[in-house]
Amino acid sequence: MSLVILKETIERTTTLKVMGILDISTTSIIDPYIEEIEDVDTLILNLKDLEFIDSTGIGSIMNVIFLSEEKNFKVKLEGMNDLTHSIFETVGLYQILEAIQGEVI
């Protein structure tokens, strides 16, 4: 499986459901979704169906977090499995998110 992104916007909340493998070969699929984020209060990244993520995929998620500071929206990560959660803790992604947003939501 490659990477599939489903986008849903309700009022000022956009959800990106990320399914499959987020790595160096698939970040080009998610990047356009990230670049087109406009006029939202909250971006939810639903990672329930994420099968694998490498450092390049983590970099894409970090780009979302940095973009949230620039465009003034909150990022919410949801549905991570234990391995993905552990990786995010290890690389300090939650700490970066907290530093930018003031809280992890």
Write down the architecture of domain 3-101 according to CATH: 2-Layer Sandwich (3.30)
Block means of pLDDT (10 residues each) for the chain, 105 residues, are 92 97 95 91 97 95 94 95 94 93 71
The confidence score (pLDDT) of residue 1 equals 60
The confidence score (pLDDT) of residue 92 equals 94
The confidence score (pLDDT) of residue 101 equals 87
Q: Cα-Cα-Cα-Cα dihedral of 91, 104, 70, 47, to 10°?
A: 70
Q: Which residues contact 40 (CB under 8 A, 6 or more apart)?
A: 9, 12, 13, 14, 71, 73
The confidence score (pLDDT) of residue 79 equals 96
Q: Across 26-102, where does the E strand assignment appear?
A: 42-46, 50-53, 74-78
The confidence score (pLDDT) of residue 104 equals 61
Q: The pTM is what?
A: 0.91
